[in-house]
Amino acid sequence: MLPALLAVSIIIFVLSEVVPGDVGRTILGPYATPQQVQILDHQLGADKPIMQRYVSWMGRFVTGKWGTSQVLQVNVFTLVFTRLGRSLLLAGVAFVIIVPTSIALGVFAGVHQDGRLDRVITVSTLSLTVIPEFVSGAILLVLFAVALPVFPVTGTPPPGAGLGTRFYYLLLPAIPLMFILLGYIARMARTGTVETLARPYVRTAVLEGLPKRRVILRHVLPNAMVPTVTVIGTQVGWLVGGLIVVEVLFSYPGLGSLMVQAAIGHDVLVLEASVLVFAFLYMLSNLTADVIVAALSPSARRGG
């Protein structure tokens, strides 16, 4: 992870440097004189060589000294992790709903392989994955927040809201995120179930007269989850991309919307920190998936 994060940090820094705009001009506004902009750029270190700026930024980032937002004038570390907590809450609501639902659909389809229900579940779940988040989100917003005001237009709950109210406000923004993962997770759960059902030890358990429910829960489900958990970990990248779109669409103050605001306002420190945190979360999710797979699969623990 460390070499990958180093490479990502270099790419992020270089790309943020080529974003159109000037930091000093953004802060002072269009009516500031060139001399005023030049003085502010010098104070911020924006006129130093790019390599020197990268080394200085990376050194501060590793030690937790992320600086102050050049536009919002708040501590970047506090700002990023406050927004990150809100994004994780939204992603958590989507995960809590979609993971058990998609696994249940996939296992049910695998148990009824090539049947009518199998075809219905497979076609419907895969069809949802091709709908972009901004399309499904806009449709859901118009239908269930405007035409039929079942849900609020925004995903931000009022201050002091309880757990139930927070879940209610986050449910509609979470649905487009669920569409991203539903088909992939259900398909992998179905494939793992079909492959596991064909293994000799499962057939032996059935021939010995064990109840079908027990065979599925004790023998099929743990082994079918190995490829499914891997897919869940790798699909977090799609979830992160969906967060950016959904947060902007539903006016949700998460890390994704903060990245968009930082890019528009040329707030380089906030933009770099936000993207690097997202990259770290993506790599961490893949590592976690590998650890869970090793715990579920004896062959993975042995390196087989």
**Which region among 209-213, 267-271, 297-301 has the lowest average model confidence (pLDDT)?**
297-301
pLDDT range class, residue 301, cuts 50, 70, 90 = low
How far the first Cα of the chain sits from its last, in Å, is 23
- CA distances, 266 to each of 25, 205, 260, 273 (Å): 10, 62, 10, 13
pLDDT range class, residue 92, cuts 50, 70, 90 = confident
Q: What b/e sequence results for 255-283 when a residue is b if at least 16 CB atoms lie within 10 Å of its CB, and e otherwise?
A: bbbbbebbbebbbbbbbbbbbbbbbebbb
Task: For the domain covering 76-301, report its CATH number.
Answer: 1.10.3720.10
Average confidence score pLDDT of the chain:
81
Q: Would you say residue 304 has pLDDT above 60? A: no
Indicate the helix (H) or strand (E) that contains 79.
helix 76-111
pLDDT range class, residue 77, cuts 50, 70, 90 = very high
d(CA 121, CA 28): 56
Q: What is the mean pLDDT of residues 44-48?
A: 69
Q: What is the mean pLDDT of residues 65-74?
A: 83
Per-residue confidence (pLDDT) for residue 36, from 0 to 100: 80
Per-residue confidence (pLDDT) for residue 158, from 0 to 100: 82
Q: What is the mean pLDDT of residues 213-237?
A: 75
φ/ψ of residue 75, rounded to 5: -65, 125
Q: What is the mean pLDDT of residues 154-173?
A: 85
Indicate the helix (H) or strand (E) that contains 206.
helix 200-207
pTM: 0.78
SS3 18: coil
Domain boundaries, the chain: 2-62, 76-301
Cα 92 from chain centre: 9
